Amino acid sequence: MANIVIVFDSLRGNTKRVVDVMSELFTAAGHEVKAVKAKEAEVADAEAADALLLGGPTYHKDLMNTMKQVLFKLEKADLKGKPGAAFASFGWSGESLAIVEDTMKNLYEMNLVADGIKVKQTPVSAKVKKEVEPFVQKIIEAL
Ligand SMILES: Cc1cc2nc3c(=O)[nH]c(=O)nc-3n(C[C@H](O)[C@H](O)[C@H](O)COP(=O)(O)O)c2cc1C
């Protein structure tokens, strides 16, 4: 059983839906999930993770400030080589994914075990599930 930590933010619930669906999939596979909003995330949460997932939505071609702040905060964590992946919820362009993923790769020097995923905004959890299932599976296989 692995300890999966997901740090995210969500203004209107779409990214939260992605996190909920991913959490269900990890839990169904026997793993433990701790999902924390960016403002509440601590360095210790990230360091304790067997796999760390970071993600947030795009607003005005940018990452939300709360996510930017947590990316600065997590610079203090020792994440070198830690398995992880980035995810995003988006409407039409999805710039937030590359911002998060580049930081995980270049600043934290994490081991990105799955290509980051951009999930198109939808109120339908089943659609989200279809999109994120292969992503979650890839992470599970790397644990
Ligand atoms: C004011 C506003 C600006 C947005 N700007 C972008 C954008 O630049 N690129 C994009 O891909 N999506 C954009 N979106 C869509 C959001 O990324 C999308 O709705 C996302 O699912 C929101 O996630 P959340 O519900 O977790 O906050 C925008 C939405 C709003 C309301």
Report d(CA 39, CA 35) in Å as an integer: 12
CB 114 within 8 A of CB 96: no
pLDDT at site 133? 98
pLDDT at site 42? 96
- What mean pLDDT is predicted for residues 97-102? 98
Report d(CA 12, CA 59) in Å as an integer: 11
> How confident is the prediction for the chain on average, in pLDDT?
98
pLDDT at site 136? 98
Report d(CA 34, CA 42) in Å as an integer: 12
Cβ of 62 below 6 Å from ligand 1: no
Query: 19, 58, 118, 127: which to mutate for ligand 1, most atoms within 8 A of CB?
Result: 58
How many folded domains does the chain comprise? Answer: 1
Q: Which atom of ligand 1 is nearest to the CA of 58?
A: 17
Q: Which of 56, 62, 116, 106 is nearest to 84 (CA)?
A: 116
CA-to-CA separations, 124 to 38, 117, 121, in angstroms, rounded: 24, 17, 9
Here the CATH number for the domain that contains residue 98 is 3.40.50.360
Each residue's pLDDT tens digit, 39-77:
999 999 999 999 999 999 999 999 999 999 999 999 999
pLDDT at site 74? 98
Q: Which helix (H) or strand (E) holds 3?
A: strand 3-8
The three-class DSSP label of residue 17 is: helix
Domain region containing 58: 3-142
Q: Whole-model pTM?
A: 0.97
Report d(CA 24, CA 39) in Å as an integer: 23
Cβ of 58 below 6 Å from ligand 1: yes
- What mean pLDDT is predicted for residues 89-105? 98
pLDDT at site 142? 96
What is the residue whose two structure tokens read 């996190």? 19
pLDDT at site 44? 97
- What mean pLDDT is predicted for residues 18-26? 98
